Amino acid sequence: MYAFVLAVLYFTIVGLFAISMFCLSKWGGRLQTYLFFNCVSHLVYNCAYVLILHAKNQDTYVTALKIGYLGRVWVGLAMTLFVAELCGKHFPRIVKISAGVVNVVVYLFILNLEKTKLYYKQMEFVMNGDFPTLPHSGGLLYYFFTILNLFYAYACMHLIIAAFVREKNKTAKKRNLLVLIALTSMCLSYIIYFFKLIPLARIFDVMIIAYAICTAMMLISIIKYKMLDASSAAKNYAVDELSEGIVVVDADDHVSYCNNPALRMFPQLAENDPSYVKTHKLLDDFEFAILSGEPVKSNGRIYTPRSKQLLEDGVRVGTLYSLSDDSDHYRYMEELREQKRIADQANRAKSRFLANMSHEIRTPINAVLGFNEMIARECDKVASTGEPVSPAAKEALGNIGTYSENIGGAGNNLLSIINSILDLSKIEAGKMDLTEDAYLLKTLLKDITGMTRFRAEEKGLAFVTEVEETLPGTLYGDMVRIRQVLTNVLTNSVKYTDKGTVWLTVRAKETKPYQEGQMLTLSFTIRDTGIGIREEDMQRLFGSFERLEMKRNSTIEGTGLGLAISHQLVSMMGGTIEAQSEYGTGSTFTIHLPQKIVKCDPIGNFSAKAEKAEKNEPYHASFTAPDAKILAVDDTKLNLKLIKALLRDTELSIDTADGGREALSLCAQNAYDLILMDQRMPNMDGTETMKQIRVQEGGQNHETPVVCMTADAIIGSRERYLEEGFDDYLSKPIKAAELEQMLIKHMRDLCHIRG
Ligand code: ADP
């Protein structure tokens, strides 16, 4: 028997030594550390037990026992730490340190067991056959140490059984089973040893056999199931190398794991006190941040936490928080916000400036163009009477007509520059809206060809139009914007062509038969024999404020906005605009625009009609309305005079008021069919006056349409005025034709329209 026990001991020692070496060779993770700690504590006890078995008296026995306890006091703790690590559980550092201190204290008492009698109350050396024994009765510390070891045994069993049950991986499950067998043998042998359940337990420490079983199991685990495989160490290493912080809490919200980056982000996690994190509300901060979408700040850095519930069989066993360092992102966002704020401020200032500039310039142009129109009408009138005038008067009249034309040309040019700038800022602010309606294709083409032919002939250029006769006559779209685009491109062709021809071809991409309600792609091709565009300039062609070949074109008027606006407008209408050019030979612009067909009646032979429409017809009012009475309100007396002059031939009865108060008093006395209201007026502005008219006590104009007249052609003006309660909106400078159309629209029953 003695020889058997010794053989077991030697086997265990060799085995433990091998495992220790193995641990050292695979050093790196906590699992290896704890296993090594475990082996060394067993090894010390086993080696000392060899000495015990050779003891011949009490002194040598006790001395060997004391050496053995140097290892044995650590066996329970080392085993528990190892099993916990194997099961993925971690004890807080404070618990480990406390357990270590207890062990050291116990060992100090064991070292002095003869004197203190706290561990062994009584002991006596007895040789039992070959076995030296030391029957004893336990002291207080002995029972405490026994209970502590039983607790460790319970903790280990609990952890390994739970891990065994939940483990899905087959290899890991088998490995856990081996550890479970080893632990069960340890626990059983401990109980047998403590209660001396078998006779052998009286002559030697039966735990020696359990240690041997344990060692064998560990060896199998390591060799067969790769317990110390580098992958777990690699996993730990990889998690520590992540740029993200990882914090794992258990079901009670106690931190059970955090990687190195998490510790660097939140050093308070290193305190490792399970309650610490709770008291410092770090987890609450994480949760709040996740719910509110706000980040968490620590040491001047900004982190975004995300959480994932850890479930086992549908039951929450903990939460994993991942923390990403988004400081740079937030700083960048902050800078962007600041830049945006500055840009918005500048943009608002620009809009304010444009609104004021537009108002300031449009108001005088209103008068200039309006009265210029009156000069032209007067000249026409005198010329058309046919009454004889002196040659000098005739010449003067002719000159006046020419000057008036020049004023009109320059004024309209100035107006179109302002309109271009306003259009571009509208488009840039995303406030440009399309106003779509049914329109006659003929009217659109008449407008643009009339104007182009006039300009082309002035320069001695030929203007040739070719319109597919079968094109549907009535389409649906924004005619005003299409006209703007075509006018821009046609004007350019005339501007940048010195001799030769400008062609306008209008076709449809689709072929007949057309159907009402269907879409049609109108294709406009504008070709010229002009100066052409250099290849390297082509990509700048549609950019804002881009004028090409400035030196060569310095005498040609332009802002470099026309094509930029045209390009944007065409895109808004769902179409395309393209340019092809040969430098020195000419350019071709092609515009495709999708439009809805309202009526399929073909447009017919357009060119011939255009020829006829060319003659410059003298002015005739488009309607007469002798029974209608309107009120015009404006603080600028000149404008009131102009309105009266422009509408003279319509036979309308027109009252005028130079402010809100006068307008109200007139509204109390008269019922008007329409009120034209200036917006910017001192004391009471147009909106205020309009609102008071609507609710005026004893007033006769509660329902009368009120049309707002303003020089504010800035972004969103029209929408704003309609929202405020005006019935319509007229932008200054007021054009006679537009004004007449507006009056017809709101007083159709009273107007006799001229054919
Ligand atoms: P601009 O008001 O200067 O005409 P646009 O935006 O309409 O501005 O045109 C931009 C530039 O493109 C012009 O300055 C001119 O150099 C060039 N360009 C436009 N159309 C033509 C054309 N038909 N022939 C030659 N050059 C053209």
The residues that bridge with 132 in the sheet, in sequence order, are 127
Ligand 1, atom 17, residue with closest C-alpha: 548
Ligand 1 environment, Cβ below 6 A: 488, 492-493, 496, 528, 530-533, 541, 546-549, 553, 558-564, 587
Express each pLDDT in 665-699 by its tens digit. Answer: 999 999 999 999 998 888 889 999 999 999 999 88
Phi, psi for residue 528 in degrees, rounded to 5:
-140, 165
Distances (CA, A) of 489 to 175, 492, 575: 83, 5, 15
Cα(583) to ligand 1 centroid in Å equals: 13
Q: Any idea which residue has 């422009």 for tokens?
A: 646
pLDDT exceeds cutoff 60 at 524: yes
Which of 418, 496, 557, 590 should be mutated for ligand 1, with most atoms under 8 A from CB? 496
Express each pLDDT in 288-341 by its tens digit. Answer: 889 988 888 888 899 999 999 888 777 887 889 999 999 999 999 999 999 999
Count of C-beta atoms within a 10 Å radius of residue 110: 23
What atom of ligand 1 comes closest to residue 565's alpha carbon? 6
DSSP of 416-469: HHHHHHHHHHHHHTT------EEEEHHHHHHHHHHHHHHHHHHTT-EEEEEE-T
Decide: 685 and 725 in contact? Cβ < 8 Å: no
pLDDT exceeds cutoff 50 at 80: yes
Per-residue model confidence (pLDDT) at position 527? 96
Which pair of structure tokens corresponds to residue 436? 């779509």
Cα(395) to ligand 1 centroid in Å equals: 38
The helix (run of H) or strand (run of E) holding residue 90 is: none
Cα(563) to ligand 1 centroid in Å equals: 7
Per-residue model confidence (pLDDT) at position 614? 45
What atom of ligand 1 comes closest to residue 558's alpha carbon? 2
Per-residue model confidence (pLDDT) at position 615? 46
Decide: 357 and 410 in contact? Cβ < 8 Å: no
Decide: 142 and 119 in contact? Cβ < 8 Å: yes
Per-residue model confidence (pLDDT) at position 569? 93
Cα(620) to ligand 1 centroid in Å equals: 36
Cα(560) to ligand 1 centroid in Å equals: 7
Show Cβ contacts of residue 148 under 8 Å, excluding neighbours closer than 6 positions.
76, 102
Cα(546) to ligand 1 centroid in Å equals: 8
Show Cβ contacts of residue 487 under 8 Å, excluding neighbours closer than 6 positions.
448, 451, 452
Count of C-beta atoms within a 10 Å radius of residue 383: 15
Alpha helices (H) along 87-166: 93-111, 113-116, 140-166
Express each pLDDT in 228-283 by its tens digit. Answer: 554 555 565 667 777 888 888 877 777 777 788 888 888 877 665 544 455 457 88
What atom of ligand 1 comes closest to residue 488's alpha carbon? 7
Single-letter residue type at 157: M
Q: CA-CA distance, 175 to 523, in Å (whole number)?
A: 79
What atom of ligand 1 comes closest to residue 497's alpha carbon? 24
Q: CA-CA distance, 419 to 691, in Å (whole number)?
A: 30
Cα(515) to ligand 1 centroid in Å equals: 37
Which of 488, 557, 563, 589 should be mutated for ligand 1, with most atoms under 8 A from CB? 563
pTM above 0.75, yes or no: no
Q: CA-CA distance, 408 to 365, in Å (whole number)?
A: 10
Question: What's the alpha-carbon Rg for the chain, to the nearest Å?
Answer: 50
Ligand 1, atom 13, residue with closest C-alpha: 547
Ligand 1, atom 8, residue with closest C-alpha: 560
Q: Let me know how long the chain is.
A: 755
